[in-house]
């Protein structure tokens, strides 16, 4: 089955997860059958979705207006009869409770009632896709599709391959996840906990609990360290209180894991977290987990990192996933401040291994046994950033970046500069501001690069603009210095393309405006929303936008601040090319390749004199053009171009 053949999606066994999935599917234009166990629950679920859609419309998310929200809600049919729910479904997404016996019965039923071509996707967070497949006669069409709660907010979807899942099914569900505006990560093997939970529950939550159980540190010391010093969204104990301590407890118990006493005791006392008013912290009268910054000052979190990295290394070793994908999954699914393995490279793989070995020698527990990949990396000297290689190679640019990734394809001579803060929709923070001009300076002198493409990580945004959290307490001069950041693509002597897939807002759009070209996927939305913050664009938006779309349209974008669709932006001339969502990557590459095949000196001069000429009197601009034209006559590339034309062959420009 192809993506565009999917018309109807059935969501089975609703709950908040199922509601969110149904909502996403309806937002993407699908007919949705939402099945729940009785009329009352089905109706409640539907009302809940309507409420959520109205909330999204209030914020203007997903381009929703109240009228459109109503239209989306009407695509959803709540019902109870399972046969009715799946009889014309092309994809069934099952979000039933995590009880294997129940799911196995359900899959037998789904297999009988759904059409032959229908794919059965399970939103399980821990159960075996292979076993679910085995109970059906269509194991090739049974796949994992693990969303994170709440699905309309959390961008990640783990797409999991069971032993028999076909490649066609995997690709289809990857594409479907993208269509639902989520970011899919392929999980190539059906391992317990997949990626995020494997890294999060055992190592992050449970190892912290072991440290506290042994009395090596207190709960608030650990939470404080991880939140305030290591920049995780919250500490491991606060997180368990939020998700429900019993969730991880049962998951690990089922896996046969020994439960750390601090967790065992808390669960036995019936203190399951926020939902019971008490967990590791007490939640009363609005009070929450109120640990101080000072508490974490002296706690060394290496043991927690060591276990997380060991787990991630195991996933790589067993070809479940790659470093890049694991990092993206941890950022999007668990809000990690940066990729776990990038951080491991910064800490030093040797230090990670040492911590594991010391713990193993002391406690003889299996979980401290370092996976062979870590030992091998250390033996080969791949100990991380300082050594020039670790989970990532650091030889490409000589330096590594916190908020960016740089990938250079020497064959096509294209450099991809990736805005890499996916959990924050690639918002521009001080790291990114400092790093981007440096990257452009390096790429400028790199002979392997002829074209630079800027894109966003995570599949939802190019960039949602300046990081608003840095506005509080920021000094005016920091923002005045923004100019260097926004001028980097413009001053660069090589052509720069902004590849917009998703949101390009505020500073994100201004960065794109400073590029030579803006191309966008159809689903993208652009805008200058600074006015809602009592501001105006400060990175060239008021000026470059005016030059591109005319004074009054620019004023409307700046003064009203509403986002516009890619289609409208294309009509305005703000976007040069608009591509189908599915073909976006491919089309961007083709466009960049055309530029990379051109004569570099001529392209550089064209960029420089066209930029400068647009701001100069015509006479001076024409003079610049004539001079540049003359200079090009002295280049080898010009000879190559002319000879190739005469000899009817394709020119190969060398940039000389
Ligand atoms: N600065 C800091 N954080 C930002 C951000 C920004 N400009 N834009 C998004 N984020 C964060 C959100 O706070 C959220 O973090 P959380 O998960 O910790 O809550 C995360 O990125 C995802 O964004 P969210 O708002 O949940 O996604 P959404 O799909 O509901 O909405 C946008 C997307 C782009 C409409 C919305 O994030 C937005 O309006 N962002 C601000 C855009 C802006 O005003 N930019 C100009 C700044 S001058």
**70 and 182 fall within a common domain:** yes
**515 and 541 fall within a common domain:** yes
Atom of ligand 1 nearest to the CA of 60: 35
Say how many Å lie between the CA of residue 519 and the centre of ligand 1.
22
Pocket test for ligand 1, best of 62, 421, 424, 425 (most atoms within 8 A of CB): 425
pLDDT classification of 493: cutoffs 50, 70, 90? very high
Say how many Å lie between the CA of residue 427 and the centre of ligand 1.
8
pLDDT at 398 over 70: no
Percent of the chain scoring above 90 in pLDDT: 74
The mean-pLDDT minimum among 62-66, 569-573, 630-634 falls in 62-66
pLDDT at 340 over 70: yes
pLDDT classification of 125: cutoffs 50, 70, 90? confident
What pTM did the predictor assign?
Answer: 0.76
Tell me, yes or no, whether 226 lies in a domain: yes
Tell me, yes or no, whether 594 lies in a domain: no
Atom of ligand 1 nearest to the CA of 537: 48
Q: Which of 122, 114, 119 is nearest to 145 (CA)?
A: 122
Beta bridge mates, 9: 32, 91
- The rounded distance, in Å, linking the Cα atoms of 136 and 465 is 47
Nearest CA to ligand 1 atom 10: 424
pLDDT at 257 over 80: yes
Give the rounded distance of the alpha carbon of 133 from its chain centre: 29
pLDDT classification of 479: cutoffs 50, 70, 90? low
Tell me, yes or no, whether 551 lies in a domain: yes
CATH number at residue 462: 3.90.226.10
Tell me, yes or no, whether 442 lies in a domain: yes
Encode pLDDT of 135-177 as tens digits.
Answer: 999 999 999 999 998 899 899 999 999 999 999 999 999 999 9
pLDDT of residue 418: 96
pLDDT at 308 over 80: yes
Nearest CA to ligand 1 atom 22: 424
Of 134, 160, 187, the domain-final residue: 187
Q: Calculate mean pLDDT across residues 315-324.
A: 96
Average pLDDT of the chain, as a whole number:
92
Selecting among 238, 510, 525, 567, the annotated active-site residue is 510
| Residue 294: active-site member | no
Ligand 1: list residues with CB < 6 Å.
61, 153, 424-425, 427, 464-469, 503, 505-507, 529-530, 533
CB 512 within 8 A of CB 461: no
**536 and 610 fall within a common domain:** no
**77 and 172 fall within a common domain:** yes
Atom of ligand 1 nearest to the CA of 530: 48
DSSP for residue 254: H
Q: Which domain holds residue 420?
A: 404-584
Of 276, 300, 324, the domain-final residue: 300
Tell me, yes or no, whether 392 lies in a domain: no
Alpha helices in 423-481 (DSSP H): 430-444, 476-480
Encode pLDDT of 424-457 as tens digits.
Answer: 999 999 889 999 999 999 998 899 999 999 999 9
pLDDT at 399 over 80: no
CB 17 within 8 A of CB 151: yes
Pocket test for ligand 1, best of 23, 63, 232, 424 (most atoms within 8 A of CB): 424
CATH number at residue 325: 1.10.1040.10
pLDDT classification of 607: cutoffs 50, 70, 90? very high
**66 and 126 fall within a common domain:** yes
Nearest CA to ligand 1 atom 40: 464
| Residue 510: active-site member | yes
Strands (E), 100-172: 119-122, 142-147, 156-160
Q: Which of 368, 370, 9 is nearest to 172 (CA)?
A: 9
**200 and 242 fall within a common domain:** yes
pLDDT of residue 388: 84
pLDDT of residue 317: 96
CB 124 within 8 A of CB 103: yes
Encode pLDDT of 290-303 as tens digits.
Answer: 899 999 999 999 99
Other beta carbons within 10 angstroms of residue 283's beta carbon come to 17
Alpha helices in 147-225 (DSSP H): 167-179, 196-199, 208-213, 219-224
Please give the residue that has the higher pLDDT: either 475 or 602.
602
CATH number at residue 630: 1.10.12.10
Q: Calculate mean pLDDT across residues 477-499.
A: 85
Tell me, yes or no, whether 347 lies in a domain: yes
**564 and 525 fall within a common domain:** yes
**431 and 564 fall within a common domain:** yes
Q: Calculate mean pLDDT across residues 58-66.
A: 84
**519 and 579 fall within a common domain:** yes
pLDDT of residue 476: 65
Say how many Å lie between the CA of residue 200 and the centre of ligand 1.
24
Tell me, yes or no, whether 619 lies in a domain: yes
pLDDT at 400 over 90: no
Say how many Å lie between the CA of residue 463 and the centre of ligand 1.
9
pLDDT of residue 288: 81
**99 and 155 fall within a common domain:** yes
**235 and 269 fall within a common domain:** yes
Per-residue three-class SS string for 452-504: EEEEECCCCEEECCECHHHCCCCCHHHHHCHHHHHHHHHHCCCCEEEEECCEE
Report residue 15 as tokens: 């709950």
pLDDT at 396 over 80: no
Of 284, 300, 316, the domain-final residue: 300
Say how many Å lie between the CA of residue 205 and the centre of ligand 1.
27
**468 and 567 fall within a common domain:** yes
pLDDT of residue 216: 95
Number of domains in the chain: 5
Please give the residue that has the higher pLDDT: either 37 or 453.
453
CB 448 within 8 A of CB 495: no
Atom of ligand 1 nearest to the CA of 153: 26
Cα angle, residue 531 at apex, residues 526 and 536 outer, rounded to 5°: 90
pLDDT at 596 over 90: yes
Tell me, yes or no, whether 591 lies in a domain: no
Encode pLDDT of 68-101 as tens digits.
Answer: 999 999 999 999 999 999 999 999 999 998 888 9
């Amino acid at each position: 089955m192809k993506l565009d053949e999917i018309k109807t999606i059935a969501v089975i066994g609703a709950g908040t997860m199922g509601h969110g999935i149904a909502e996403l599917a309806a937002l993407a234009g699908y007919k949705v059958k939402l099945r729940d166990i009785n009329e009352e629950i089905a109706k409640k679920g539907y009302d809940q979705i309507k409420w959520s859609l109205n909330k999204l419309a209030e914020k203007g998310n997903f381009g929703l207006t109240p009228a459109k929200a109503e239209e989306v809600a009407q695509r959803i049919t709540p019902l109870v009869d399972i046969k009715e729910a799946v009889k014309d479904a092309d994809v069934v997404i099952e979000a039933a409770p995590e009880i294997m016996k129940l799911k196995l019965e359900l899959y037998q039923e789904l297999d009988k009632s759904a059409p032959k071509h229908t794919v059965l996707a399970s939103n399980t967070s821990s159960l075996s896709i292979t076993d679910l497949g085995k109970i059906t006669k269509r194991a090739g069409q049974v796949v994992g599709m693990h969303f994170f709660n709440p699905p309309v907010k959390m961008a990640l979807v783990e797409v999991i391959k069971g032993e028999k899942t076909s490649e066609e099914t995997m690709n289809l569900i990857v594409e479907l996840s993208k269509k639902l505006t989520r970011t899919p990560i392929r999980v190539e093997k059906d391992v317990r906990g997949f990626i995020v939970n494997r890294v999060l529950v055992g190592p992050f939550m449970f190892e912290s609990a072991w440290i506290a159980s042994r009395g090596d540190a207190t709960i608030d010391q650990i939470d404080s360290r991880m939140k305030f010093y290591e920049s995780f969204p919250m500490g491991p104990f606060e997180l368990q209180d939020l998700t429900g301590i019993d969730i991880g407890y049962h998951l690990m118990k089922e896996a046969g894991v020994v439960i750390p006493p601090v967790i065992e005791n808390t669960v036995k006392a019936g203190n399951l977290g926020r939902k019971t008013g008490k967990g590791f912290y007490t939640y009363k009268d609005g009070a929450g987990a109120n640990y101080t910054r000072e508490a974490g000052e002296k706690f060394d979190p290496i043991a927690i990192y060591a276990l997380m990295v060991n787990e991630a290394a195991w996933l790589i070793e067993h070809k479940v996933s790659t470093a890049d994908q694991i990092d993206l999954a941890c950022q999007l699914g668990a809000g990690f401040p940066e990729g776990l393995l990038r951080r491991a490279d910064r800490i030093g793989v040797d230090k990670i291994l040492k911590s594991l070995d010391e713990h193993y020698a002391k406690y003889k527990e299996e979980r401290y046994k370092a996976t062979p990949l870590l030992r091998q990396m250390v033996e080969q000297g791949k100990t991380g950033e300082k050594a020039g290689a670790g989970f990532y190679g650091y030889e490409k640019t000589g330096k590594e970046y916190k908020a960016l990734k740089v990938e250079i394809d020497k064959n096509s001579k294209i450099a991809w500069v990736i805005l890499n803060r996916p959990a924050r929709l690639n918002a521009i923070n001080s790291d990114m501001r400092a790093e981007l001009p440096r990257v452009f300076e390096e790429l400028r002198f790199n002979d392997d690069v002829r074209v630079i493409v800027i894109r966003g990580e995570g599949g939802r945004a190019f960039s949602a603009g300046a990081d608003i959290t840095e506005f509080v307490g920021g000094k005016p001069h920091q923002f005045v210095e923004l100019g260097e950041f926004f001028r980097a693509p413009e001053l660069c002597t090589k052509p720069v393309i902004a590849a917009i897939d998703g949101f390009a807002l505020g500073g994100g759009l201004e960065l794109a405006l400073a590029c030579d070209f803006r191309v966008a996927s159809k689903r993208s939305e652009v805008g200058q929303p600074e006015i809602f913050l009592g501001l105006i664009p400060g990175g060239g938006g008021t000026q470059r936008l005016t030059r591109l779309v005319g004074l009054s349209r620019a004023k409307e974008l700046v003064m009203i601040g509403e986002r516009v669709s890619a289609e409208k932006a294309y009509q305005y001339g703000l976007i040069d090319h608009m591509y189908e969502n599915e073909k976006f990557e491919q089309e961007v590459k083709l466009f960049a390749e055309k530029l990379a095949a051109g004569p570099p000196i001529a392209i550089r001069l064209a960029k420089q004199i066209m930029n400068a000429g647009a701001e100069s009197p015509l006479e001076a601009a024409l003079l610049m053009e004539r001079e540049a034209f003359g200079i090009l006559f002295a280049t080898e590339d010009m000879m190559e171009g002319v000879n190739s034309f005469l000899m009817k062959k394709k020119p190969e420009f060398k940039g000389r």
